[in-house]
Amino acid sequence: MRIVLVDTMGGLGDLVLAMPIAEALGRSHPGAELAVVTTAPWHVLLERDPSIAEVVPVPGRDGRTIVGAVEGALRRLRPDLAVTTNRQHGLPELLERWSGRAITDLWRHPPADEPVDLRMLRLLAEDGAIDPALARIPPRLVLGADELDAGRRLVRALAPERPLLLLPDSGMAVKRWPLTSWSETVRAARAAGWRPVVVSEAAEQRDALGVAGAAVAPSLGLRELAGLFAAAAEVGGRAVGGDTGPVRVAAAAGLPVVGLFGPTAASRYGYRGGGAVNVQGYPECPVRTPTAITEQECWWTARCPLTATGRPRCTEDIRVPDVLAALGA
């Protein structure tokens, strides 16, 4: 039996949310050949997963590139079962044309209070594509012994005890917690006995949090970063960050995370896994639309209609004591 999972939503976090689907499909169909078609460069997260026979990277996010990569894989593999998390670009029709069975709508009728990945698993179980006993598994990242060893060496160099990895980066301005709050978190966490480490590609964030007292992680590849997360988990570490791909990778690597949710609803996009805590800023926000987040008037502009400054009230509503309480500090 051949199975193809197509996840071309484009974001790093999107792939992590789809990882339980890949695991559930593989475990539900022992002996099947499972291929995953997904966006580069995030595809490297799947490279060492023994349940996946082939990873097909999609080298772009435009419709033509996605369709070309997906159709090429389907033509070559001719799967018995194909599943997609992406309904755009005519992908449902492609899957129906080139596979024995296609499951193409895992977004149907979403409630506002069911996590996205759990809903997808539940729908697949209802459709008979996976074992219902697997309908609650969290994202799980497979790492090699060499990657774990490299992560351990880095943890020893940065924060050998109680490491607190701070991940302030976000590709969307509306999701960013104020830099002043991050700096205050560094100082408060140090006072509570944590060893803060900033993990960021932005010089402004590294500099500001370094001045506040955080160690600064070097620039790392995605799998190296996952190794750091897994190693930090081994020594009682935690991570703090917004609704972003790197924080999802941390949770999938086994690191307990504190998620800071502003415009997105933690009830749908909150982190799962051992020790995960989700903090929702301004829960009663009248602008937030949990099942249609891209339609929120603040989503693309990061301008909040509820504040005189235009800065997102939901993210500014999250206070440092809330974060420290979530950490159990």
d(CA 102, CA 274): 33
* Class of CATH domain 145-327: alpha beta
What does the chain come to in residues?
329
Greatest alpha-carbon span in the chain: 60
Other residues' Cβ atoms within 10 Å of the Cβ of residue 75 = 11
What's the confidence (pLDDT) of residue 80?
97
Predicted pLDDT at 254: 97
Which pLDDT value is given to residue 226?
Answer: 98
C-alpha to C-alpha distance for 4 and 2, rounded to whole angstroms: 7
* CATH class for the domain made up of 2-134: alpha beta
The confidence score (pLDDT) of residue 328 equals: 87
**What type of residue is 142?**
V
User: Token match 């977004």: residue?
Assistant: 107
Q: In angstroms, rounded to a whole number, what is the distance separating the alpha carbons of residues 265 and 275? A: 19
pLDDT score at 329: 57
3-state secondary structure of 123: helix
Q: Distance between CA atoms of 178 and 181, rounded to whole angstroms? A: 5
Q: Residue 56 to residues 144, 172, 223: CA-CA distances in angstroms?
A: 20, 27, 17
For tokens 């607190």, name the residue: 164
Residue 318 pLDDT: 96
pLDDT tens profile 142-159: 999 999 999 999 999 999
The ranges of the chain annotated as CATH 3.40.50.2000 are 2-134, 145-327
User: Distance between CA 115 and CA 110 in Å, rounded?
Assistant: 9
pLDDT tens string 39-83: 999 999 999 999 999 999 999 999 999 999 999 999 999 999 999
C-beta of residue 140 within 8 angstroms of C-beta of residue 172 = no
Which pLDDT score is estimated for 171? 87
Which residues of the chain carry a pLDDT beneath 50?
A: none
pTM: 0.95
